[in-house]
Amino acid sequence: MTTDRRPAAPTLGSASLLCENCGRTTPHRILRLDRRTDPTAGEVRGVARCQECRYTHAFESGPPDEVERAVIVSHGASSERTTLRLRRAAHLQVGATLPGPDPPLRVRRLERPDGTDVPEAEAAEIRTIWAVRDEGAVVRISIVEGARTVPTSVRLPHGTALEVGAEIVVDDGSGEIVGLRARNRTWRRPGDRFRADEVDRAYVRWIARPPAGRSDWRRSRERPSSAASEDSTPARSRSSPGTRIARRRPRARRAAGGAADQSASPS
């Protein structure tokens, strides 16, 4: 008794295929399948007949160019499950952004169908993607205010350059970068420059605004605060010589030592 070990022929069925005679996709009856193809992998070749024009022709169908993958997007302590269509050959890598979504999603974990994690793979090899919304690089800021330092942070687009001596907007105020902590050391020389993703901390001093001399620096008064000050003589400016007072000529004294002569001197 012999046993036929040849693989069983794929079951005949129907499919929507491009008909060369009709020039469009129509329902077809599958007449024969090539045994050398694997339908489970999406690769099918054979012969089919169009059910509209009865035209019989060979066909070949490959796997779809795109695949749909599950994506779990984390939001702090919560998460959201969604799906994303990707090209089969799309290269995915932990730490990189996923192609397509807006706002971008940054990959945190890639899981294969067997449950193992991989640092990188093609989309066709991945079952589930864990990601977070990419909202830019978060840079920690230390604002130097005299003897104290105030901590805060700013979110900047990836690739943004930070430079010692340059201006930066922090909490709706303008500051000057006086130091950058990057690559395990602090850089303080003007012109030292790093991408925001590389900076561990930026040291900032406020820039005085508005500049000295503008009225915004002092309280404006429409009238004097008291009647006395309203009638008083204007204060002398530090830079002015003051009011010049005309002085009379020295009084002439009488020879006998009497009262001073108040009359004007003869011409």
Establish if 240 belongs to a structural domain.
Answer: no
pTM score, whole prediction:
0.43
Supply the mean pLDDT for the chain.
78
pLDDT tens digits, 173-192: 899 999 999 999 999 999 99
Tell me the pLDDT band of 128, cut-offs 50, 70 and 90.
very high
Q: Does the pLDDT value for residue 65 go beyond 70? A: yes
Strand pairing class (193-195; 167-170): unpaired
Q: By the 8 A CB rule, do 113 and 85 touch?
A: no
pLDDT in the model for residue 40: 57
Tally of residues, the chain: 267
Sign of CA dihedral 169, 175, 176, 179: negative
Q: Which domain holds residue 48?
A: 14-61
Q: With respect to residue 174, please indicate whether it lies within any of the assigned structural domains.
A: yes
Q: Is the pLDDT reported for residue 54 higher than 80?
A: yes
Domain boundary among 110, 133, 156: 133
Q: Is residue 249 part of a domain?
A: no
Residue 111 CB partners (closer than 8 Å, separation 6+) = 117, 126, 127, 128, 129, 130
pLDDT in tens, 206-260: 986 554 444 444 444 444 445 554 455 555 545 445 555 666 666 655 555 555 4
> Domain tally for the chain?
3
